[in-house]
Amino acid sequence: MISKDKIKTFKELGLKEDIMKSLDDLGFEKPTPIQAETIPFILNSKNDLVALAQTGTGKTAAFSLPILNQISTNKRSLDAFILCPTRELAIQISRDIESYTKHTKGISVTAVYGGTRIDLQIRTLRRGVNIVVGTPGRVHDLIRRNVLKLNSVKWLVLDEADEMLDMGFKDDLDAILEQTPDTRQTLLFSATMSRGVSNIAKNYMKKAKEISVGSRNTGAENVTHEYYVVQARDRFETLKRILDCIPDVYGILFCRTRRETQDVADKLRQAKYQAEAIHGDVSQSNRTKIMDRFKNKHIKLLVATDVAARGIDVKDLTHIINYNLPDQNTSYTHRSGRTGRADKSGIAISIVGPRDIRKIKELEKALNKPFEYKQVPSGKDIHERQIDNFIDSIKVSDSEKIDAKFLEDITHKLKGVKKEDLIKHFVSKELSHLFNDNQGTRDLNSTFKANAEKSRTLNNATYLKINLGRKHRFNIKTLFAMINSSNKLRGMHIGQIDLHPEYSTFAVEKKYVSEVINSLNKNKFSKMPVEVSVSNDQITEATDNFSRKRNRRKNKSPRRNKGNRGDYRRRR
């Protein structure tokens, strides 16, 4: 067996020539870490395997390529059976396998799943296939109908095993696994090693080898995490402003329920955003059309539930947006892992309420990565971002295609217009909708509560004063950028932040005070030397206001009751 440390290309794995031709057509050259470890193992061993790797690491090729390399062609016996949680993933896996067998004759694969006609799937199975990819519910149904028989299976693959258990398929899994022969090789792939997954390995696998790539329950390294704190009533307006500030977005927006998913998608389309929804109530035919449009980038934002998004394998996603945080940390990992793939960077954005700050802290600890607090863009922020994006697009546009005579006619007609007026007309024509929509937008940030919560989590918080404020166009984003410019301070927690016209204050842990002052005092902002010092007011006005409001809320009801009793006595 070739050492995994020496494997640099797929050619070194010992795959057949026809499979290699298909991989060359797909542009596959270097195997991912999970592929480099699992493919040689499956090719050279009949032992069971538990493979742990995050979403988007190439697990489908990791188990399907070595199986395809060993299947006898031109036979109609069922050799490989692959079980996965959702129909989207079943379709994706079957399509991937078809692409790997483009130059291989005599291997057939079919996907069986709910939401579509079962009679067509029965007809295909009765003709005979080599590989079946299916979801637990439909597979169990086909077994009960005595149509799908698993007694000849040589390879049993459980893909996204943790998700199948989370979705409540344990009973179906137990019933299905009992129908497979003891001589099978079981390959279990999962992002996490939960208790349920451990039980499957214990009850249905023999002397399984465990291969783990990357840290368990951690997010993709190339993904940065951001969050906005707003009131529930401002959630959709916040989403629109965020989207207006990332005009090049290509991503998935996650919602909790089918109803919320459809409602948000409808509102986005009414507001002229390129968005579509997929959830359990969307028919399979419409779902396929939506996914094709999304993969071709005719849709920029896919609004989905966690269940509906399972199996969506789309490259080059720039953003993942959480309209609501999921209940489970592992679900957040699955969501955010859909961007930042193949050495590309991605951003996971969460829109949360003040009560969700504690959940953010839990996710930071679980993923071992910092989450950056962001302010909801103002109308001015949106204007600046859209104008910058518009100008950048003009700079890279192909102007050589314009006919010289046509350009001469345009120049002649605009001869009497001043350059400044021409620019105004040009920008107004293209971006007038933004100026109308975002003129005088109110502040949606629930920053006080977020920062107050953060400052309470800091140990021995010390407040620092910086000589930059709102009149200097200084903001929270700039402060974070200054802090992160120092390798020693990058990712450091910042507590309560208060922006004033002439200066700003922020809280840091006492042990970082000297380093922050020394680091920031070396900077300049708009040619102005930065000056940072310990604030004279260790407890800021915002904190005092918070305490006063809290005390008023505590004392308000008793005081009113006492007064009422007194009035009653006097009236008597």
Helix (H) or strand (E) holding 179: none
User: What pLDDT score was predicted for residue 551?
Assistant: 53
CATH number, domain with residue 83: 3.40.50.300
Q: CA-to-CA distance for 525 and 511, rounded, in angstroms?
A: 25
User: What pLDDT score was predicted for residue 163?
Assistant: 78
Tell me, yes or no, whether 64 and 202 share the same domain.
yes
Q: CA-to-CA distance for 81 and 132, rounded, in angstroms?
A: 5
Q: Can you state the percent helix, strand and coil of the chain, rounding each to 5?
A: 50, 15, 35
Q: Which stretch, 210-219, 309-318, 439-448, has highest mean pLDDT?
A: 309-318
Angle in degrees, 0-180, between the axes of helices 357-367 and 329-336, rounded to the nearest 10: 70
Region 205-223: mean pLDDT is: 72
CATH number, domain with residue 473: 3.30.70.330
User: What pLDDT score was predicted for residue 398?
Assistant: 65
User: What pLDDT score was predicted for residue 217?
Assistant: 45
Q: CA-to-CA distance for 127 and 77, rounded, in angstroms?
A: 10
Has residue 58 been placed in a domain?
Answer: yes
User: Domain total for the chain?
Assistant: 4
Lowest mean pLDDT of 70-74, 422-426, 485-489, name the range: 422-426
User: What pLDDT score was predicted for residue 507?
Assistant: 87
pLDDT bucket at 302, cuts 50 / 70 / 90:
very high
In order of 211, 217, 375, 473, the CA distances from 342 in angstroms are 21, 19, 30, 37
Per residue in 418-429, pLDDT (tens digit) is: 878 777 777 777
What's 248's DSSP letter?
A: T
Has residue 218 been placed in a domain?
Answer: no
Tell me, yes or no, whether 264 and 156 share the same domain.
no
User: What pLDDT score was predicted for residue 436?
Assistant: 59
**390, pLDDT greater than 70:** yes
Tell me, yes or no, whether 80 and 126 share the same domain.
yes
- DSSP for 113-167 reads -SSS-HHHHHHHHHH--SEEEE-HHHHHHHHHTT----TT-SEEEEETHHHHHHT
Has residue 456 been placed in a domain?
Answer: yes
Q: What is the mean pLDDT of the chain?
A: 81
Structure-token pair, residue 48: 């069971």
Per residue in 75-129, pLDDT (tens digit) is: 778 999 999 988 878 888 999 999 999 998 889 999 999 878 899 999 999 999 9
515 and 489 Cβ atoms separated by less than 8 Å: yes
452 and 494 Cβ atoms separated by less than 8 Å: no
User: What pLDDT score was predicted for residue 547?
Assistant: 46
**298, pLDDT greater than 60:** yes
Q: CA-to-CA distance for 529 and 523, rounded, in angstroms?
A: 6
User: What pLDDT score was predicted for residue 46?
Assistant: 92
Q: Over pLDDT 70: what percentage of the chain?
A: 83
Tell me, yes or no, whether 157 and 11 share the same domain.
yes
Has residue 552 been placed in a domain?
Answer: no
Lowest mean pLDDT of 128-132, 287-291, 372-376, 384-388, name the range: 384-388
Tell me, yes or no, whether 96 and 113 share the same domain.
yes
Q: Is 350 helix (H, G, I), strand (E, B) or coil?
A: strand
**Burial environment of residue 35 by CB neighbours within 10 A (0 to 12, 13 to 18, 19 or more):** buried
Tell me, yes or no, whether 208 and 238 share the same domain.
no
Tell me, yes or no, whether 91 and 159 share the same domain.
yes
pLDDT bucket at 558, cuts 50 / 70 / 90:
very low
Residue 98: phi and psi, rounded to 5, are: -60, -40
CA Rg value for the chain: 29
Tell me, yes or no, whether 353 and 399 share the same domain.
no
**62, pLDDT greater than 80:** yes
Per residue in 35-59, pLDDT (tens digit) is: 999 999 999 999 999 998 776 678 8
C-alpha angle 476-477-481 in degrees, rounded to nearest 5: 115
Per residue in 238-250, pLDDT (tens digit) is: 999 999 988 889 9
Per residue in 7-34, pLDDT (tens digit) is: 568 888 888 999 999 998 888 878 888 8
Domain boundary among 389, 415, 437: 437
Structure-token pair, residue 517: 């002052």
Has residue 518 been placed in a domain?
Answer: yes
For 233-328, where are the alpha helices, taking DSSP H only? 235-245, 258-270, 284-295, 306-309
Q: CA-to-CA distance for 334 and 219, rounded, in angstroms?
A: 8
User: What pLDDT score was predicted for residue 553?
Assistant: 53
Has residue 560 been placed in a domain?
Answer: no
Has residue 566 been placed in a domain?
Answer: no
| Cα-Cα-Cα-Cα dihedral sign, residues 507, 509, 514, 516 | negative
Taking the alpha carbons at both ends of the chain, their separation in whole angstroms is 98
**73, pLDDT greater than 60:** yes
pLDDT bucket at 172, cuts 50 / 70 / 90:
confident
User: What pLDDT score was predicted for residue 114?
Assistant: 87
Per the document, the length of the chain is 572
User: What pLDDT score was predicted for residue 275?
Assistant: 93
Domain that holds residue 297: 223-378
Region 341-364: mean pLDDT is: 84
Give the predicted TM-score (pTM) of the model: 0.57
Per residue in 511-554, pLDDT (tens digit) is: 889 999 998 988 888 888 999 998 865 443 444 444 444 555 55
User: What pLDDT score was predicted for residue 541?
Assistant: 42
Of 146, 75, 66, 147, which Cα lies nearest the Cα of 106?
75
106 and 128 Cβ atoms separated by less than 8 Å: no
**442, pLDDT greater than 80:** no
Tell me, yes or no, whether 479 and 529 share the same domain.
yes
Q: CA-to-CA distance for 134 and 508, rounded, in angstroms?
A: 53
Q: Is 466 helix (H, G, I), strand (E, B) or coil?
A: strand
Tell me, yes or no, whether 402 and 368 share the same domain.
no
Secondary structure (H, E, C), 306-344:
HHHHCCCCCCCCCEEEECCCCCCHHHHHHHHCCCCCCCC
**Burial environment of residue 489 by CB neighbours within 10 A (0 to 12, 13 to 18, 19 or more):** middle
Tell me, yes or no, whether 201 and 251 share the same domain.
no
Has residue 163 been placed in a domain?
Answer: yes
**369, pLDDT greater than 80:** yes
Tell me, yes or no, whether 387 and 353 share the same domain.
no
Q: CA-to-CA distance for 476 and 65, rounded, in angstroms?
A: 49
